[in-house]
Amino acid sequence: MADIRQLLLAAFEVEHREHIEAIRAALGTAGAGAAPDWNDIFRRAHSLKGAARAVDLPPVEALAHRLETLFERVSTGAALDRAAESATQLALDRIEAYVAAIKEAPDAAMPGDALAALDGCLGPDRSEDPASAPPAEAPAAPAFSASLSQLSAEPSTPPLPRPAAPAEPAPEPAQAILRVPAETVEALSRASHDLTSALGGAPVAEGLARIARACTDLRRRVGGLAGAGQAADDTAGEAARAELRGLDGALAALAREAGDLARRHAAAAAVLDGAAARVRAEAERLALVPAETVLGLLARTLRETAREQGRDVAVATRGLDVPVDRAILQSLKDPVLHALRNALSHGWEPPEVRAAAGKPEALQIGLEVALRGGRLVLTVWDDGRGPDLAAIAAQGRRRGLLVEGETPDPDALLALVFEPGFSTASSIDTLAGRGFGLSVVADAARALQGSVRLGPRAPAGSQLVLSLPLAASRRSLLLVEAGGATYALPGAGVARLLRVERAGLPQAMGRTLLRVAEAEGQGGGEAEASLPVAALSDLLNLPAAAPGRNLTAVLLRAGGRRLALAVERLHDVRTLLVLPVPPVGADPDLVAGTAILAGDVPVLVLDPEGLAARADGALPAASTAAPPDIDGEAAGTAPRARRSMVRATILVVDDSITTRTLEKGILEAAGYRVVVCVDGQDALDRLRAEIEPVDLVLADVEMPRLDGFGLLRALRADERFRRLPTVLMTSRGDPEDVARGLELGADAYLTKQKFDQSGLLETIGRLL
């Protein structure tokens, strides 16, 4: 029976969350001035009460019964005042917390404040207590009903009491919920990606095809020899001809076997590729979770904090259904909570001040999650008093961050609030005063290679915006070509694709203009706007191809702006895994991530907002943004190996497929022959097996099984590799690490933060 109850509680956990989210959404709609469907909300509370009774949760049933009564009154014309709304939010919070608590402690208690608050709103004329109320008539949600129907179908399970329900179509079976550690999901995603790369069957199939062609060629040559020996009439000639005929038959059999093996391998490879693709897709789907799974509880936490402070607050959330990488969400949980608490502290105003300003009685605080262009954007806003620039400037002068008499612009002033220990609060309390809340937010943004800014919000209040690059998520990407290289643009940032004749385009101040139709607002119709065209090759400092008759352009959405981006060619639209960009020469202002095409070919995913800023001149021109050109020489390089008749072989060792693929591309573009290994032990085994001569090792430091230091130590202990040039490359640039690497015998130690393509090639050229 305990197992049955656990199944019921698991189903109820899913169902109660659906009802609570629907009720909260209705309250948010009412707060925005719209009229929600109160009859539907009444039915939600009714179903919640019935489901709670079925799983024997009297505290939840009692609260749901009060909510049902309240919503019944509202549906018949009564007003939902602020006190009733606050009591409703408190009840929903208490139900959520109670259901979460009983999973760990079945004897958990429900606080009585929510029941008292609802009773205070309903008055003495409230409906009968749910303990004596008749059984709930509303059907339970599909997940809960399905669980009951499945259990009742078990012949060994005694029937359970359940609410009476009108006949309705059989619901779909409930989905089982399984908790999986985030580290396991990330490892599965990485392993599936490596599996796809390792299963590339093209080289084997091509090798088998070459064997078959060689057999056919040898048969022709044998046939020629046999024909030439027809004139010979001696016994030796006859024996030679017999031998040739036997050889011809053997070659024919070998050719048939090779061809048959190639066909079987191609069929097996196709099956494996399909299976690997499905594994990869499922692994990536696991890695992406709705933002609500991590950030959804923060609204409840903030409301609880506000109650402890005796402050009235309404919390609105938007975009929590956006899928985000699980690891990023976990990294953002505490910083976002700090931002919400900061909004509560600094946005709070006394009720009379809010009333005089025509604001709602409760402080409005919002949390929004969105995908814009190539970035994940989180916004925390409030409708309070807004940033106090005078107080920020005064505190900045007291702390020596501003010079007396200096009048910085508002953006520079607002940037000061992210300094550790900076606070404009007049006193220290549980919410603010120590000045470390926003510094935590800034630290998280830097750690995730993103940015954060604070500013005023119209018509009142402030907003804090976190902008982060996409990572470890599948996105729709538009592949384009510029400077002979392929790049990716986030599909969410692409508004339109255009191809027009250059001859008819106007010019202004030396720049080509593109006329683009745009909507004229609510009245309908379209108007034309002229946008200056920016060539992607110019923004990336790449050699431009000769202009053709037609101009191919991508109209990008970048924040509130639009950018007409000229490209040399449009390739394809694909859904690809976007990985974090490794710090290997990529411009963080322009690059939002990395994607891997078939054949382990990396492409950089560009950030539309960064491109727009570069086009406006807000960002300096890139010294070089060219990725490795797998088929040709990278721009601006003339490596020594390119001029050499004998190509040196370099062993690249890195556990990140993105990093080793980019390094492989850079080195191959420079003319080197490259082999790759996934960690130090793999590299050591390959070197000891002497599969091929290696002229230099380029190794990461932090790797599983055997790290770069361990690999270097093993190489220097082996007489065969004692003088093998070895370069360590890592994100760890601490002086102690550098000294350790050099003491172990590294010939060079490069840090990824200061990496540039020409520096790597120069170092390798010097060592070889």
Any idea what the CATH number is for the domain that residue 697 is in?
A: 3.40.50.2300
The boundaries of the domain holding residue 728 are: 640-767
CB 490 within 8 A of CB 477: yes
Q: pLDDT tens digit string along 193-215?
A: 666 555 554 456 666 667 777 77
Residue 606 exposed, middle or buried by CB count within 10 Å (0-12, 13-18, 19+): buried
| Alpha-carbon distances, residue 606 vs 327, 364, 377, 476 (angstroms) | 22, 36, 16, 13
Q: Widest CA span of the chain, in angstroms?
A: 126
- Domain end position, chosen among 234, 257, 287: 287
Check whether residue 460 and residue 418 sit in a common domain: yes
AA letter at 288 = L
Residues 73 and 108 in one domain: yes
Q: Is residue 264 part of a domain?
A: yes
pLDDT value of position 125: 59
Question: Quick one: 463 and 530 in the same domain?
Answer: no
Is residue 255 one of the residues assigned to a domain?
yes
Those residues with Cβ within 8 angstroms of residue 500's Cβ, 6 or more apart along the chain or in another chain: 514, 550, 551, 553
Element (H, E) at 4: helix 2-31
Closest C-alpha among 110, 63, 107, 112 to residue 88: 63
Residue with more model confidence, 766 or 139: 766
The larger pLDDT score, comparing residue 24 to residue 30, is at 24
My answer on whether 233 and 333 are in the same domain is no
> Which range has the top average pLDDT, 280-289, 654-663, 753-762?
654-663
* Pair (378, 260) in one structural domain: no
pLDDT tier, 361 (very low <50, low <70, confident <90, very high otherwise): confident
- pLDDT at residue 644 tops 80: no
Specify the higher pLDDT residue, 658 or 261: 261
Does residue 25 fall inside a structural domain?
yes
In degrees and rounded to multiples of 5, residue 133 shows phi and psi of -75, 150
How far is residue 245's CA from residue 237's CA, in Å, rounded to a whole number?
A: 12
Average pLDDT on 390-397 reads 83
CB 481 within 8 A of CB 554: no
Residue 203: per-residue pLDDT:
53
Indicate if 261 and 218 belong to the same structural domain: yes
b/e map 473-499, b = 16+ CB within 10 Å: bbbebbbbbbbbbbbbbbebbbeeebe
Q: Say how many C-beta atoms besides its own lie within 10 A of residue 747's C-beta.
A: 19
Domain boundary among 615, 648, 670: 615
Residues 6+ away with beta carbon under 8 Å from 680: 653, 699, 703, 705, 706, 707, 708, 710, 711, 714
In whole angstroms, what is the distance from residue 668 CA to residue 403 CA?
52
Tell me: pLDDT of 10 over 80. no
| Per-residue tokens: 756 | 């540039």
In a domain, 455, yes or no: yes
Q: What count of other Cβ atoms lies within 10 Å of the Cβ of residue 333? A: 14
Do the domain assignments include residue 189? no
Residues 573 and 523 in one domain: yes
Name the token pair of 325: 């990488």
* Cβ-count burial 405-418 (b if 16+ within 10 Å, e if not): eeebeeeebbbbbb
Element holding 370 (H helix, E strand): strand 363-372
Whether 114 and 32 map to the same domain: the answer is yes
Could you tell me the pLDDT band of residue 724, with boundaries at 50, 70 and 90?
very high
Q: Is residue 395 part of a domain?
A: yes
User: Does residue 634 form part of some domain?
Assistant: no
What angle separates helix 708-717 from helix 735-743, to the nearest 10 degrees? 20
Phi and psi at 200, nearest 5°, equal -55, 105
| CA 468/CA 480 separation, integer angstroms | 23
pLDDT digits (tens, 9 = 90+) for 461-518: 999 999 887 654 567 789 999 888 889 998 878 888 888 888 877 776 667 788 776 6
Domain count, the chain: 5
Last residue of a domain, one of 582, 615, 648: 615
Identify whether residues 500 and 441 lie together within a single domain.
Answer: no
Task: Supply the CATH number for residue 447's domain.
Answer: 3.30.565.10
Q: Is the CB of residue 612 less than 8 Å from the CB of residue 564? A: no
| H-state helical runs in 76-141 | 82-104, 113-122
H-run or E-run covering 236: helix 235-287
Q: Is residue 728 classed as helix, strand or coil in its secondary structure? A: strand
pLDDT at 156: 36
Which contiguous run of DSSP H or E holds residue 609? Answer: helix 608-615
Pairing state of beta strands 323-325 and 375-382? unpaired
CA 407 from chain centre, in angstroms, equals 40
Instruction: Give residue 626's pLDDT.
Output: 44
Answer left, alpha or beta for residue 386, where phi above 0 means left and psi between -120 and 50 means alpha.
Answer: left
Is residue 236 within 8 A of residue 286, CB to CB? The reply is no
CB 570 within 8 A of CB 338: no
On whether the pTM is more than 0.75, the answer is no
176-185, 417-426, 455-464, 501-510: least confident range: 176-185
CB atoms within 10 A of CB 113: 13
CATH assignment of the domain containing 52: 1.20.120.160
Higher confidence at residue 294 or residue 577? 294
Looking at the domain assignment, is residue 441 inside a domain?
Answer: yes
Residue 751 burial (CB count, 10 A) = 17
Report the C-alpha gap between 37 and 316 in whole angstroms. 18
Residues 118 and 212 placed together within one structural domain of the fold: no
- In angstroms, the CA 564 to CA 528 distance is 14
Answer yes or no: do 304 and 381 share one domain.
Answer: yes
User: Which residues, other chains included, contact 751 with Cβ-Cβ below 8 Å and sequence gap of 6+?
Assistant: 729, 730, 731, 732, 733, 738
Shared domain for 608 and 670, answered yes or no, is no
